[in-house]
Amino acid sequence: MITIYHNNRCSKSRSALAKLENSGKAFEVVYYLETPPNKNELEEIIRKLGIKPLDLIRKGEKVFVENYKGKTLTDEEWIEAMVKHPILIERPVVVSGNRAVIARPADKIQEILG
């Protein structure tokens, strides 16, 4: 099953969702601001992305600038920050099986769709 962590207010996320809809494949939409991933889910997503937690952080968000800019946190602390403030999670993230991509640009979904 394919899962997209989606924010409908984001044009990049809407574009990725449209690509999934047009793919004909079954998928699930997680509105991650309303239903944020927990710590274990975030750790799993990060592992599948093959990145460091800091690389999943949206550094332009007001919450980041006001609370985290210029700080050096551990991977665990960055994950806790995303759990506490899901707006910090880069979007959209598309997960399928053991793989995941940050679908920016939306064409990166092809890596998941095959």
Class level of CATH domain 2-113: alpha beta
The first and second tokens of residue 69, run together, are 């800019």
Among residues 1, 10, 54, 102, which one is catalytic? 10
Among this protein's residues, is 10 annotated catalytic? yes
Cis peptide preceding 53, ω within 30 of 0: no
Which positions ≥6 away from 108 have C-beta within 8 Å?
Answer: 94, 101, 102
pLDDT tens across the length of the chain (114 residues): 999 999 999 999 999 999 999 999 999 999 999 999 999 999 999 999 999 999 999 999 999 999 999 999 999 999 999 999 999 999 999 999 999 999 999 999 999 987
Closest Cα to residue 102, out of 2, 16, 25, 43?
16
Could you tell me if 102 and 56 are in contact, meaning their C-beta atoms sit under 8 angstroms apart?
yes
